[in-house]
A and B are shown apart, each in its own frame.
Chain A
């Protein structure tokens, strides 16, 4: 199994809603990532979890709250978002932390629209 599975694929929410994005991998990878991608732009790193602990937070607003319940799961909790937060949210994993030699495996993404 070489997949990273993200749910839901599409999400529409109002600015007062609370929702969550979910990501799952069963490759035994010990690092997991959240990226945000706006249209026609490269992905931007948001968070990194290494061995289930948050290791990098790229100054993301607190209305985005990551959670790593176990080594296979990664959640992104969303609350009080703004329309400019509408984007494709990509989850990725790698065998070990660090970007030097490793390959990142990406999910297909969750396309979020904030009304």
Chain B
């Protein structure tokens, strides 16, 4: 069946550091891939998405590329800010399911 594996957190960084959060998936067919972000005390927001292989999703300085050959969708940002502190969920979408990874907590310190 389909599944998503995310790196364990928390990830702790200083402001302006480079961020990578790893996400790999197993899937049959051609799913879409998503990164959602959950700020403290809030619901989830879609951060970016990619619907087919080699697509790059980007938003707010974050990027992720749908890599079929490595079944990965790693999230990257060149320079994080304190305001990026949140929990990040990788997710895989097929017709009848949206499967979330376990989430990775990012803490950014000034």
Residues of A at the B interface (CB closer than 8 Å) are 4, 6, 40-43, 45, 56, 90, 92, 98-109
Contacts and interface: CB of A to CB of B under 8 A. Distances in A.
Contacts of B97: 45, 99
Range of interface residues on B (Cβ < 8 Å): 20 to 34
A103 B49 contact: yes
Nearest to A40: B103
B103 A41 contact: yes
Interface of B: 31-32, 34, 41-46, 49, 51, 89, 93-98, 100-103
A107 B43 contact: yes
B44 A99 contact: no
Contacts of A56: 96
Contacts of A98: 95-96
